Structure 1
Amino acid sequence: MNIRIKTQNSTTGFTIPCTEKQIDKLCEVLGIPNNSQTVVTVDSVYG
């Protein structure tokens, strides 16, 4: 599955399944913490 995440400052993509290291890098790029307190919401799904 290909995922695209858009924030106010950037858009980035990754493929699931992925490694914890890839998730850590994604969070770094997006400027969000990679911990159990982080909440991410799906805004829309596209084909």
Structure 2
Amino acid sequence: MPEAAVAGAMIVLLFAGAKEKARHLPGFRELVFSGTLRSIRRLLAMT
């Protein structure tokens, strides 16, 4: 359970950082979004 909480916190931090960068870099948001969708699909496929 603590591992899941740590992973969740890291994901939230990554999203916050990505949002911050997306303001400055055009196209960065789409790249992060597609990468995130891919990782979520991979996680779902593993379970």
| TM-score, normalised with respect to structure 2 | 0.28
Instruction: Point out the structure with max Rg over C-alpha.
Output: 2
Question: Which structure's residues are more often helix, by fraction?
Answer: 2
Bigger RCO of structures 1 and 2 (CA < 8 A, at least 6 apart): 1
| TM-score, normalised with respect to structure 1 | 0.28
Question: Which structure's residues are more often strand, by fraction?
Answer: 1
